[in-house]
């Protein structure tokens, strides 16, 4: 399992990376933070097939684009007044990277499960997040829905907590999504380490 200690050690900064893909909706860790269950794809010293979640790099990522679709039955009444029966609001989310390294590490990092640290393998992405090949592998292996963890300042999701303003170090939103479109290009081929990719992903809320 991905413990709270692992997640703390995995992050380079005070806040988690902006985006994480997971095969499950997560749990509350020992330190009260919301984390997914399982192993990080391709970086945790386990078989890639057993991967449960993947932390995406913030390197060269474009702004996360949100679009809301309101599902409703709206109709004008005989008196001219508009009425609506609201069903749900669903999100469409677009993610894209330019010049993203094709891999997160030059070699297999083998994270320590106690301290969340890797061995001396140097990272290609500055934050150790997933590179192009790992994101492509996730797309190829997950035809069905999965969970999207987002870290941005949406403190209204913590209404009812003791202090809703003190949750920047946590994932503020978890959404079950499908991949509706996936595109990538190999922009530059590297010499002995990694290539540079451009990736675009469109996601739709279940």
Residue ranges per domain, the chain? 4-69+85-205
In this structure, are residues 5 and 32 in contact, taking their beta carbons and an 8 Å threshold? no
115-170 residue pLDDT tens: 445 555 678 888 888 899 999 999 999 999 999 999 999 999 888 888 889 888 88
Residue 136, pLDDT score: 95
Would you say the pTM of this structure is higher than 0.95? no
d(CA 41, CA 51): 5
Map residue 73 onto helix, strand or coil: strand
Strand-strand pairing, 19-22 and 53-55 = antiparallel
For position 76, what pLDDT does the model report? 93
| CA distance to 44, 59, 131, 169, per residue, from 48 (Å) | 9, 23, 15, 28
pLDDT tens, 5-28?
555 555 556 778 899 998 888 766
- DSSP tag of 56: B
Contact 111, 6 (CB under 8 A): yes
3-state secondary structure of 137: helix
DSSP letter, residue 141: H
Please report, for residues 33, 79, 86, 89, 104, the alpha-carbon distance to residue 40 in angstroms, rounded to integers and kept in the order given.
Answer: 17, 58, 38, 30, 12
């Amino acid at each position: 399992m991905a413990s709270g200690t692992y997640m703390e050690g995995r992050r380079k900064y005070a806040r988690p990376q902006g985006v994480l893909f997971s095969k499950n909706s997560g749990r509350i860790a020992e330190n009260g933070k919301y984390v997914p269950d399982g192993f990080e794809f391709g970086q945790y010293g386990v078989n890639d097939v057993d991967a449960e979640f993947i932390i995406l790099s913030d390197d060269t990522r474009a702004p996360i684009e949100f679009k809301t679709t309101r599902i409703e039955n709206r109709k004008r009444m005989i008196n001219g007044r508009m009425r609506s029966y609201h069903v749900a609001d669903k999100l469409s989310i677009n993610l894209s990277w330019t010049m993203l390294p094709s891999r997160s590490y030059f070699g297999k990092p083998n994270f320590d499960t106690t301290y969340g640290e890797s061995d001396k393998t140097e990272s290609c992405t500055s934050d150790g997040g997933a590179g192009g090949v790992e994101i492509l592998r996730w797309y190829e292996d997950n035809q069905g829905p999965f969970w999207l963890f987002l870290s941005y300042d949406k403190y209204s999701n913590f209404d009812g907590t003791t202090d809703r303003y003190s949750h920047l170090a946590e994932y503020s939103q978890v959404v079950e999504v499908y991949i509706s479109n996936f595109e990538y290009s190999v922009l530059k081929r590297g010499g002995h380490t990694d290539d540079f990719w451009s990736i675009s992903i469109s996601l739709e809320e279940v």
